[in-house]
A = this chain, B = another copy of it.
């Protein structure tokens, strides 16, 4: 992997950086700006001061801006400017989240920064008069952290949002939570094992994420039987596991849906498992052939898998992961895929849509081309469009609303 090559293909239109993983993160931050927090101009100004492919520049640039915004929020609040303070806290939250994306989670200040990021999220939400509840869901001998936004109307449907390998529960708010709540859905946003800050207490990725999703529904006192499950990125696999087995789920949205995680890992990371472990482990510091951006991401993923390095994680996935039996999935489904995404992800989405349709189960596959501005992974480059399509589809699916 040369500097400039990407860990996973997630977009096709370059924005600013030659390093594709860094450019994807910029694209993602710009996408968030469509819905909440910082402005596009604000983000591009930070980006202009970051050297291509230098994760420490990225980390310090976004961290500094997060501190600036948090200070601005405090000043706004002193004047009684609640809307302004809310926006600034949300901006601080997602600026700090962007910084953490290229931080080593094993360094001591990672967790305190993560906690601060969630504190900003909580402040932003409450100042926006959102009835945000922090929830703690019993799971095995521990718990899963989440947020709950209970609809102000009675007996509304529920949307449970699940992220992937780069998200925490605060991300699930702009990905779908905010707009779904505004559209009168009850919204649950939960971090499964391996997600958010869970790995810090050794709650790492698990073979059957479906059990964790079911634990959420066991705990949840649903106001209506209309329960939809949405999975983003790796969440496309976790939710597939849940939909296969838990019949309380009545609708499924995935961007993109994944039933065969081994094939995805083989396709994207197979070349990594061929390298000897120490090479990958120390790649960032020793080898110029692996970019610093790739190195810090691999460290983070290894931490989430609870393995010493990422190549070991890949080997474990290829050995242990199970493939979802798609014939057992029988709920109306909306699948989203961008033309800028990895070919294997698009292939699995097509297989799933065809399989469901052949069994007369309503299934729609929406493929986003570059003109739509939503062709990147998880539609991060046009999150407003993705939100609207999901909610339009959900309203029609739960048409007795």
Once the chains bind, are A38 and B373 in contact (CB under 8 Å)?
yes
Q: How far is the CA of A57 from the CA of B79 in the complex (A)?
A: 46
* Cβ-defined partner of A382 (8 Å) among B42, B381, B382: B42
**Is A396 an interface residue when CB atoms closer than 8 A count as contact?**
yes
**Least CB distance, A64 to chain B, in whole angstroms:** 9
| Chain A interfacial residues counted at CB < 8 A | 45
Q: How far is the CA of A389 from the CA of B79 in the complex (A)?
A: 11
Once the chains bind, are B39 and A382 in contact (CB under 8 Å)?
yes
**Is A370 an interface residue when CB atoms closer than 8 A count as contact?**
yes
Question: How many copies of this protein are present in the complex?
Answer: 2
Q: How far is the CA of A373 from the CA of B44 in the complex (A)?
A: 9
Q: Which of A41, A45, A65, A388 has the largest number of chain B CB atoms within 10 A? A: A41
**Is A82 an interface residue when CB atoms closer than 8 A count as contact?**
yes
Once the chains bind, are B388 and A41 in contact (CB under 8 Å)?
no
Q: How far is the CA of A397 from the CA of B242 in the complex (A)?
A: 52
**Is A83 an interface residue when CB atoms closer than 8 A count as contact?**
yes
**Is A275 an interface residue when CB atoms closer than 8 A count as contact?**
no
Once the chains bind, are A39 and B34 in contact (CB under 8 Å)?
yes
**Least CB distance, A384 to chain B, in whole angstroms:** 6
* Closest chain B residue, CB of each to CB of A80: B396
Once the chains bind, are A385 and B34 in contact (CB under 8 Å)?
no
**Is A161 an interface residue when CB atoms closer than 8 A count as contact?**
no
* Cβ-defined partner of A392 (8 Å) among B42, B43, B48, B81: B81
Once the chains bind, are A388 and B39 in contact (CB under 8 Å)?
no
Once the chains bind, are A385 and B87 in contact (CB under 8 Å)?
yes
**Is A27 an interface residue when CB atoms closer than 8 A count as contact?**
yes
Once the chains bind, are B381 and A42 in contact (CB under 8 Å)?
yes
Once the chains bind, are A373 and B84 in contact (CB under 8 Å)?
no
* Closest chain B residue, CB of each to CB of A374: B39
* Closest chain B residue, CB of each to CB of A183: B83
**Is A354 an interface residue when CB atoms closer than 8 A count as contact?**
no
Q: Which of A68, A374, A382, A384 has the largest number of chain B CB atoms within 10 A? A: A384
**Is A198 an interface residue when CB atoms closer than 8 A count as contact?**
no
Q: Which of A34, A65, A80, A374 has the largest number of chain B CB atoms within 10 A? A: A34
Q: How far is the CA of A44 from the CA of B13 in the complex (A)?
A: 9
**Is A54 an interface residue when CB atoms closer than 8 A count as contact?**
no
B-binding residues in A (CB < 8 A): 13, 15, 27, 30-31, 33-34, 38-45, 48, 65, 68, 72, 76, 79-84, 86-87, 370-374, 376, 381-385, 388-389, 391-393, 396
Can you list 14 A-B contacts with CB-CB less than 8 angstroms, sorted by A residue number? A13-B48, A15-B41, A30-B41, A34-B40, A39-B381, A39-B382, A39-B384, A39-B385, A41-B376, A45-B370, A81-B393, A83-B391, A83-B392, A86-B388
The 10 lowest CB-CB distance pairs between A and B, nearest first, are A42-B373, A41-B381, A81-B392, A39-B382, A83-B388, A30-B40, A40-B40, A84-B388, A39-B373, A41-B373
